[in-house]
A and B are shown apart, each in its own frame.
Chain A
C-alpha cells in the first residue's frame, strides 16, 4: 500500500515499526500536494521546508524513543488556526499578509504530540459559508466527481480545504472548525469523517473567531478511529480560553471499539421533513438498520423546535460575527487602505478587505443587535436557542445518541445555489441544532448518491459524551464499509 493511502493509525504503526520514516511519509504527501493542489486549491499556503524539518525531528524522536503520539503524522491545518511564523489568512484579503506571532492552543498541542504540518488549508472567508466559494484565494474543488460528469463540485464548507485535502490523500488528517456544520457538512461532501466536539472541549485560543459561542475546533480524517486519535491530542482545558471546559480528556480511541449493544438511538421525527431526497432518507434508514442489527434500540424522539434552529443560527452567528470582525479596521495589523480621515480609512479597508458574504453577515449581525431590533431578533433568538437545548436535554433523557443525515444533499456544483444565499444556508439545516446546543456531533460516510457522490450520517451525543458518539460512528463505519474513493486523489490522476 502506498504511504498516502494509509490511515493515520496505520501510519503511526508503520513509523513505530520503522517500516518507513517520517521524512518519507511527509515527502509523499508533499509530492501529492504539488501534484494536486493546482487542481483542488485545497491549500492556501504549503510549508514544505517546515514540514520536512518537523518530519526529520520526528524521526529523531522516534529513534530516541521520545516520540509523541502523533510523531511524524502529516496534517493539514485549516487557515483559521493561528500558526506562529506562518501566514494565517482566514481566506480573507484582510489578512493576506498576516503572520501571527503566536500559536493557537490546538495546533500547539498537535505540535507537542509530534505532528507535521504540511500547510494551511483553504476555507470560506472567515469560515462563513458552506461551499468554499467565498474564499478570497479561489474556490476549493471537491476531489469527487459525479459519475460520468466532469463538472467541478464544491467540497462543502467552511472546512472545505481540509476535507478535500484529506479525501484526496494530501494529508492523513486535518483540523477543521465548526460553527454551524463547517466540519460535518464538508466531511459528508468529501466522503470523510469529521467530528465537532462539545463546545468547550477544544480551546478556541488562537482560532480566528467567527461566532464565539458556537465555534469549535475538531478533527477531520478518513476513519473514525483517526478522528478519535486526533481529538485526543487536540482537546483539553486551556486557561487562556474562559469558555474551555475544565474536565478530563477520556480515551476516545478506546471508545471506538465499545459497540452499540444496549444503546438507545434517537431518531428525531422533525428531521424527516417533506422534501428530504429519497436517497438521503434511504441512507438514514440504512443507518438505523445497521445500529439495530448491532444491538442498539432505535427510538422515535421529538425535537420540536428544530424548524427554528436555522433562523436562530442566522441571527446569533452573524450578531457575534459583526462584533468579532470589528477588529479588522486597518489600524494595527492586516490590510489597510488609507483614507482622508479615520472613517474613510475604515470604509475603504473593510470594503476591500472583506468579501460579499462576510459583508452580508456583518450587516445582518449589526442589524439584529441594533436598538429597537435587539429584543425582536437577538434576544428572541437566545430564548429559542435555550428551547432548542431543552429539546435535546429532554431527548437525551430517553436516548444515548441521536442519528440524522449530515446534509440535505450530496456535493453540488460550483455555481449552483449561488443566486440565493438562503438556499445556501439550508445546507446547515441538520447540523445547526447540535451547534446551537453545544453538543458533540460527527459525520461518517455511509453511502453514495445515485451520481456516485458520498453521503454522510450524523450522530449527536450528550454534552461531553464524545465517547458514545465515537462508538456509534465506529459501528456504522464498520457495517457500512464505505470504500469508494474520490476521482481525484494522489497517485491516480490530476
Chain B
C-alpha cells in the first residue's frame, strides 16, 4: 500500500499531517452567551464580550468543554484533568480583542487515535497529537463596498476544536479517509456537524516529501482547505511542487501556502521569517480548567456507539461483510435505518436493499436518509412480502419504485395492483404450454443443445404472467415440459 509519486529521480514518499478546525455544536459561544446559529443576519449574534468591549470578561461555557471531552473520548484520547487557556496575540479587523483565546501549552485532550480504512480494506491507525479548544474569529467582508471592509462578528467567539494529527498519513487517499472518518466520528458524537461547505470543519494540511528510508524533510502548511476533495488535490499539488524543487537542486523552505482549486496549485502566503510572533501567554482572565474525573465518566457513559464498534457489531450480529457494514455506519442515520429494517429479518438481505435500492432511490430523488420517502417499517414490510412468497423479487422492485413515488405502504400497492405472485400450478402450466407452442423453432434449438435458451423461455412465461409467476415454480414446470 505504499503510495509514491514518480519524479525524475525516482519515487517519492509523502508525509502528511492534518490540523482540523471543527466548530463545536453548542447553543452559546465558548466564552459568551451569544447564540451560534448559522446564517443569522450579520452582527446579530454578538455580545459585548465577543466584540471585546472595555471591561468585558470571558466565562467558559461548560457545554463546549463537555463537547471537547466527548470528542476526546471518541478519539480514544487522554483527557487532561488540568488544561489552560492562552492568548494568541495578533491584530486583525475581525479579531475584536486583538488576541484569540486558545490552548497553546496545555490542551484539554492529548494523544488519541483514528482508524482509517484503505480502498483495499486494510486498516491503519493514525495518531492524534492533541485536541484543544479555541475561539473562532469574525469574518471580514471585502465585497460589500468598493473602498471599505465590513466586519461580521457572528462567528467571533464561537468554539472550535483544533484536532491535530501526527504526520502519519502517506497519501492523498489516506488523508481523505482520515477526514471522512473524523467527520463521521464527530457527527456520531454530535460535537461538530462536519459541514465543510458551511465552514464548520476546515483543514490545514502539512505536507513534505522524502525518499524511502529518509527522515522527514522540510514541510509546508497549506492553510484553510475546505473540502475533502480539495485536501486531496492540495496534497498532490503541493507534493509535486516540492518534488520539482528538490529535483531541480533547490531547497524547500518552510512556509505557509494557499491552495487555489481553480488552478490546481498552491501558492506562497508567508514565509517562516514573516511568521507572526503571537506572543502567547496564559490568559489572566481565566483560571486553569480543572475537570472532575466523575464528570468525565458521566460523559463517557453517555457516549453513543461509535462507528468502529457499530461496524464490528453489524458484522457479528447481522453477518454483514466488512464493506457493507462500513457503508452503513458511515452515517449514523443510515446505520439506524438499516437496523430498523434488519431487526428480526435477514441482515444481508436488508443490507442489500438499503445499500442498493434505497441509496439509489435517495440519490436519484436528491433526498437524504432522514427524509427518505420510504420508512424503515415499509421497507421491512416489503422484505417480508418477498420472504413469505407474496410477491417475487422482480415485482418487489416495481413495488419499491411505487413506494418511492407515492409513499404508499407495500401491502396496499400489492393489493391495489393485484401483484400477488401466482403459485397456482395450473395457471403456470397453461402459460408454459402457450409459450412453448408459440416457439417451436426455439424448442427445437434448445433440445438440440442450446441450453442458454432456457432463460428466454422463463422470460416469455413471466411476461405472459405479467411478472407475477413464482420464479421457482415457473422453472420447475418449464424444465419438466422441455425434458
Contact = CB atoms under 8 A, between A and B. Distances in A.
B178 to A, nearest CB: 31
A111 to B, nearest CB: 16
A148 B457 CA distance: 130
Contacts of A369: 89, 279-281
Contacts of A211: 284
Interface stretch (A282-290, A326-334, A353-361, A412-420): A326-334
B51 interface: yes
A326 B51 contact: no
B287 A102 contact: no
Query: Chain A interface: which size bin?
Result: 35 or more
Q: Tell me if B's interface is mostly helix, strand, loop or mixed.
A: loop
Interface in B18-55: 48, 51-55
Interface string A181-214: 0000000000000000000000011111101110
Contact of A239 (B51, B59, B284): B59
Contacts of B279: 322-323, 366, 369-371, 374
- For the complex of A and B, the 4 pairs showing the least CB-CB separation, nearest first, are A326-B98, A213-B284, A212-B284, A369-B279
Given A211-B284, A242-B285, A370-B277, 19 more contacts: A100-B53, A204-B55, A205-B55, A206-B55, A209-B54, A209-B55, A239-B59, A242-B58, A242-B286, A243-B287, A320-B284, A323-B99, A327-B98, A331-B93, A332-B51, A332-B151, A333-B51, A342-B93, A346-B91
B149 interface: yes
A433 to B, nearest CB: 18
A331 B96 contact: yes
26 contacts: A81-B55, A98-B54, A100-B54, A102-B53, A204-B57, A205-B55, A206-B56, A212-B284, A212-B285, A241-B57, A242-B57, A242-B286, A242-B287, A243-B284, A243-B287, A326-B98, A329-B91, A329-B93, A332-B51, A332-B52, A332-B53, A333-B51, A342-B149, A369-B280, A371-B277, A374-B280
A107 to B, nearest CB: 11
A359 B48 CA distance: 25
A241 B60 CA distance: 10
A211 B285 CA distance: 10
B481 to A, nearest CB: 88
Interface string B261-284: 000000000000000010111001
A214 to B, nearest CB: 8
A374 B281 contact: yes
B91 A82 contact: no
A208 B54 contact: yes
A275 interface: no
B281 A327 contact: no
Contacts of A370: 277, 279
Contact of B55 (A100, A329, A332): A100
A327 B93 contact: no
Interface in B280-313: 280-281, 284-287
Contacts of B89: 322-323, 326, 369
A239 B48 CA distance: 16
A101 interface: yes
Interface string B49-73: 0011111111110000000000000
A278 B286 CA distance: 44
Interface residues of B, number: 30
A240 B96 contact: no
Contacts of A7: none
Nearest to B92: A342
A426 interface: no
Interface in A239-297: 239-243
Interface string B143-156: 00000010100000
Contacts of A207: 55
Interface string A297-321: 0000000000000000000000110
Contact of B281 (A243, A323, A332, A342): A323
A211 B55 CA distance: 11
B48 A101 contact: yes
Contacts of B97: 326-327
B87 interface: yes
Contacts of A393: none
A206 B57 CA distance: 8
Interface string B95-109: 011110000000000
A88 interface: yes
A243 B98 contact: no
B385 to A, nearest CB: 61
A90 interface: yes
B54 A82 contact: yes
B42 to A, nearest CB: 14
Contacts of B280: 369, 374
A366 B278 CA distance: 10
B57 A240 contact: yes
Given A101-B48, A323-B89, A205 B57 contact: yes
A392 interface: no
Given A212-B284, A242-B285, A323-B98, A95 B54 contact: yes
A378 interface: yes
Contacts of B99: 323, 326
Contacts of B92: 342
A336 to B, nearest CB: 12
Identify which of B57, B87, B97 gathers the most chain A CB atoms within 10 Å of its CB. Answer: B57
Given A82-B55, A209-B55, A331 B151 contact: yes
A449 interface: no
A329 B92 CA distance: 9
A97 to B, nearest CB: 13
Nearest to A316: B284
A104 interface: yes
Contacts of A327: 52-54, 96-98
A208 B93 CA distance: 21
Nearest to B51: A332
Contacts of B56: 205-206
A203 to B, nearest CB: 9
A370 B97 CA distance: 18
Contacts of B286: 242-243
A332 B96 contact: yes
A329 B98 contact: yes
B316 to A, nearest CB: 48
Interface in B413-465: none
A90 B60 CA distance: 27
B145 to A, nearest CB: 14
